[in-house]
């Protein structure tokens, strides 16, 4: 975006008052420096929706939605960035200037593709509902228990059994063939004829979270061995399969409200769930989830239930996808559907209550992997016990957190009647081997796990209270004084923060040059967003001239706390020689550097 446009945005925001705008939609009460009210984006009884007039932003501690005037209007009116800017400009009597030509060209192209998609969805929808051509598809849907109301809600359609049905319709509306190819709806044959991609198929439009049509999925109605059962739009300038989720536009409000999401596989799974009133359901558009999809999910929820078809849930690709969710900060539970069933079928046969029972019985990711790994192994004979233990060791060795690992080791040994000490030593052996294997490629990982090792047990003790106070102030100063950011970054390593603030610091350090008033929009994880917001809303301001002193205090506190942690470790009896040596070396380093202080 051109700098003139950014300047315009600054002026526009400067001319508006966020309290004024939000008050049009929410009853606000003044509390301290802030205004609070009941969140319009999720159901709540006590207000956690906060507007900060000083920084001109809003934030909800309940559902994690937040931003500036522009994003508030986008969210509440469900409109695009551009539309929001236009509405706000009208509100303050300003004119939106033209932005730079290349960007304008891109915008025009995207708008055209959205228009083509919109018309296509309408065309297919009309054929399904209003013409004889659609009867076959209507009957198929009826047989599967979908009603006219469902067809309308989900915008379903029918692609006619012709080579040029859509082609003729859209060229008749003035679009060029090349544009339709770009939209992924029309193909060019070897002898240079254009033809429809979707023919004689039931059509599921794929929407983005704002409800704009991005792409289409088409399902065969008659069984035909020579054709794929499902056919999807290719990637286009407006559609990236790995960045979208089917059903998010219908699910997002309930996802926010409940902080939970249920991830299924197919279009009809999502349709069935929503039809039966389970509204926080999306599908992954393919079984292997991407990290972008995981982050998208984490924006709206904390807990993800995986409800894949019984036959895919245990495959390797699926399990990898689930680790991606965990890495995005989500808690993951796997729903165990009966053999050979899918959510659509299960819901139809058993109903909502039984499905919710399955959710209650869902196990976490590690348990699921264990269950999966031990399937078909008879733990009652020696051979089975050896094989089973090997598999368990492999699974448990992937757990990075030592405490989590030990809890599972205990559980598993109890459950399968294994010796916990043997299991533990085998797991630790494997971890060591794995670490040596990729020592060079994963320095970061080693560093991180060391840090955790020091802070896990200690971060709730008194010694960490004062450091929290200092680090909060330091981070607050970082946000408040852009001109001091480089000084702080040069002096303080993010490793020096406690576990609670490490991620916040990493985010701020990484974005030190681009950080602006609307940083909330750049933070995708809700947990992280909440922490940054708490920092910004809390009244812990310091004067810029106090920052230098703060840095010194922080460093001193940091050294002191590491030493306390080390000392406690030394007192523990279960240290092996290697670890003891490492700790001693660290300890001596620290003592040497700061001889003045005693423990
Ligand atoms: Zn909220």
Burial class of residue 462 in the structure, from the number of CB atoms within 10 Å of its CB (0-12 exposed, 13-18 middle, 19+ buried): exposed
Q: What is the CA(261)–ligand 1 centre distance, in A?
A: 16
CA angle 361, 366, 371 (to 5 degrees): 65
Q: What is the CA(314)–ligand 1 centre distance, in A?
A: 35
Q: What is the CA(60)–ligand 1 centre distance, in A?
A: 5
Q: What is the CA(206)–ligand 1 centre distance, in A?
A: 26
Q: Which residue pairs from 95-100 have beta carbons closer than 8 angstroms and sit at least 24 positions apart in sequence? A: 96/8, 97/4, 97/5, 97/8, 99/1, 99/2, 99/4, 99/5, 100/1, 100/2, 100/5
Q: What is the CA(66)–ligand 1 centre distance, in A?
A: 9
Q: What is the pLDDT along the chain (599 residues), one digit of tens a residue?
A: 456 777 888 888 888 889 889 988 888 888 877 889 999 888 888 898 999 887 788 988 888 888 889 989 988 888 888 889 988 988 877 777 765 566 667 778 888 999 999 999 999 999 999 999 999 999 999 999 999 999 999 999 999 999 999 999 999 999 999 999 999 999 999 999 999 999 999 999 999 877 889 999 999 998 777 888 899 999 998 898 888 899 999 998 888 778 899 999 999 999 999 999 999 999 988 767 888 888 788 877 889 999 988 777 667 667 777 888 887 778 899 998 888 889 999 999 999 999 999 999 998 888 888 888 888 888 788 888 888 888 899 889 888 777 778 888 888 888 888 888 888 888 988 888 887 765 544 443 333 333 333 333 333 333 444 567 788 888 888 887 888 898 899 888 888 888 778 888 888 888 887 766 556 666 777 778 777 877 777 656 677 788 888 888 888 777 666 666 665 665 554 545 455 556 556 655 555 544 444 33
Q: What is the CA(39)–ligand 1 centre distance, in A?
A: 4
Q: What is the CA(72)–ligand 1 centre distance, in A?
A: 12
**Residue 232 φ/ψ, nearest 5 degrees:** -115, 160
Q: What is the CA(49)–ligand 1 centre distance, in A?
A: 6
Q: What is the CA(278)–ligand 1 centre distance, in A?
A: 20
ipTM of the complex: 0.98
Count of C-beta atoms within a 10 Å radius of residue 570:
12
Q: Please give the Cα distance from 267 to 247 (Å, whole number).
A: 8
Q: What is the CA(57)–ligand 1 centre distance, in A?
A: 14
The arrangement of strands across the sheet holding 157-159 comes to 157-159, 201-207, 213-220, 230-232
């Amino acid at each position: 975006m051109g700098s003139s446009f950014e300047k315009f945005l600054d002026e526009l925001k400067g001319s508006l008052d966020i309290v004024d705008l939000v008050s049009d939609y929410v009853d606000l009460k003044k509390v301290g420096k802030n205004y609070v009210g009941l969140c319009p984006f999720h159901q709540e009884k006590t207000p956690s929706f906060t507007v900060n007039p000083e920084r001109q932003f809003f934030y909800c501690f309940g559902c994690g939605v937040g931003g500036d005037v522009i994003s508030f209007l986008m969210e509440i009116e469900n409109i695009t960035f551009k539309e929001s800017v236009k509405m706000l400009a009208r509100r303050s009597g300003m004119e939106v200037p033209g932005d730079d030509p290349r960007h304008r060209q891109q915008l025009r192209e995207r708008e055209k593709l959205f228009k083509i998609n919109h018309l296509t969805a309408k065309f297919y929808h009309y054929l399904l509902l209003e013409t004889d051509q659609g009867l076959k598809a209507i009957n198929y849907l009826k047989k599967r228990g979908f009603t006219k109301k469902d067809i309308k809600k989900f915008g379903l359609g029918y692609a006619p059994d012709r080579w040029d049905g859509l082609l003729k319709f859209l060229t008749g509306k003035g679009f060029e063939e090349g544009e339709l190819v770009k939209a992924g709806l029309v193909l060019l044959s070897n002898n240079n004829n254009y033809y429809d991609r979707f023919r004689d198929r039931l059509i599921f439009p794929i929407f983005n979270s704002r409800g704009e049509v991005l792409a289409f999925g088409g399902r065969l109605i008659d069984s035909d061995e020579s054709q794929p059962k499902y056919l999807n739009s290719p990637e286009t300038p407006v559609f990236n399969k790995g960045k979208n989720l089917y059903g998010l536009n219908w699910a997002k409000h309930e996802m926010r409200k409940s902080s939970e999401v249920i991830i299924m596989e197919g279009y009809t799974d999502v349709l069935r769930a929503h039809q039966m009133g389970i509204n926080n359901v999306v599908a992954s558009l393919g079984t292997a989830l991407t990290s972008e999809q995981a982050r998208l999910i984490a924006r709206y929820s904390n807990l993800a239930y995986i409800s894949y078809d019984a036959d895919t849930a245990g495959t390797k690709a699926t399990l990898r996808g689930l680790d991606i969710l965990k890495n995005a900060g989500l808690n993951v539970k796997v729903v165990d559907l009966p053999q050979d069933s899918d959510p659509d079928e299960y819901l139809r046969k058993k109903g909502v209550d039984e499905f919710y029972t399955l959710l209650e019985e869902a196990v976490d990711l590690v348990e699921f992997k264990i269950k999966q790994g031990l399937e078909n192994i008879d733990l009652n004979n020696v051979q089975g016990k050896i094989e089973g233990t090997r598999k368990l060791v492999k699974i448990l060795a992937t757990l990075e957190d030592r405490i989590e690992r030990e809890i599972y080791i205990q559980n598993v040994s109890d459950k399968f009647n294994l010796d916990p000490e043997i299991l533990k030593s085998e797991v630790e052996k494997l971890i060591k081997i794995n670490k040596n294997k990729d020592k060079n490629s994963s320095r970061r990982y080693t560093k991180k796990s060391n840090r955790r090792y020091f802070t896990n047990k200690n971060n709730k003790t008194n010694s960490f209270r004062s450091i929290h106070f200092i680090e909060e102030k330091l981070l607050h100063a970082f946000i408040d004084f852009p001109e001091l950011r480089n000084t702080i970054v040069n002096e303080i390593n993010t490793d020096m923060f406690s576990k609670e603030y490490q991620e916040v610091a990493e985010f701020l350090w990484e974005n030190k040059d681009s950080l602006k008033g609307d940083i909330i929009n750049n933070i995708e994880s809700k947990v992280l967003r909440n922490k940054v917001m708490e920092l910004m809303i809390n009244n812990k301001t310091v004067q810029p001239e106090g920052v230098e002193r703060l840095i010194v205090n922080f460093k001193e506190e940091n050294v002191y706390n590491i030493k306390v942690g080390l000392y406690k470790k030394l007192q523990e009896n279960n240290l092996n020689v290697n670890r003891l040596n490492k700790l001693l070396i660290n300890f001596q380093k620290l003592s040497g550097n700061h001889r003045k202080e005693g423990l």
